């Protein structure tokens, strides 16, 4: 797993917590912010965006990744997720994150007390489906 410095963790947590304030969650009132640490040290953020049709909701993690991709990035070192309780990513976000590699530090932060935990993506999504499972894929 990627090693993070205390300063990197602090920067990520701060960015995720700040962008959480921009979340649009009028239905669940569960606000989430995410911050990706790029290989070059830049931070790209995203927040959750809900819709009355829940299946149309966008999770903060996927918004952050989509923003990073739109900005030309294809890899990153870590993601921090700020929420009540410091929850881990949902299954869809775990799968989405895995598309870009399993060597990813996932920092989950409780916005109430600032407590955080660091996970490895491959531990959060064991035996994941990936491109190697697709017909005709060569590694």
61 as an active site residue: the answer is yes
CA distances in angstroms from 84 to 9, 27, 63, listed in the order given: 18, 16, 19
Q: CB of 27 within 8 A of CB of 52? A: yes
Name the binding residues for Zn(2+). 59, 90, 93
Name the binding residues for substrate. 48-54
DSSP lists the bridge partners of residue 35 as 45, 80
Q: Residues 3, 8, 10, 61: which is the catalytic one?
A: 61
- Residues recognised as catalytic: 61
């Amino acid at each position: 797993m990627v090693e993070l410095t205390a300063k990197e963790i602090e920067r990520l947590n701060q960015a995720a917590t700040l962008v959480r304030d921009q979340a649009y969650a009028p239905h669940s009132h569960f606000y989430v912010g995410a911050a990706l640490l790029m290989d070059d040290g830049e931070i790209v953020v995203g927040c959750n965006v809900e819709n009355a049709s829940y299946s149309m909701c966008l999770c903060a993690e996927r918004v952050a990744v989509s923003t990073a991709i739109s900005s030309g990035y294809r890899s990153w070192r870590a993601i921090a997720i700020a929420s009540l309780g410091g929850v881990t990513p949902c299954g869809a976000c775990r799968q989405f994150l895995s598309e870009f590699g399993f060597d990813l530090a996932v920092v989950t932060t409780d916005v109430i007390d600032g407590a955080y935990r660091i996970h490895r993506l491959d531990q959060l999504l064991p035996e994941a489906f990936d491109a190697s499972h697709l017909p005709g894929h060569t590694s």
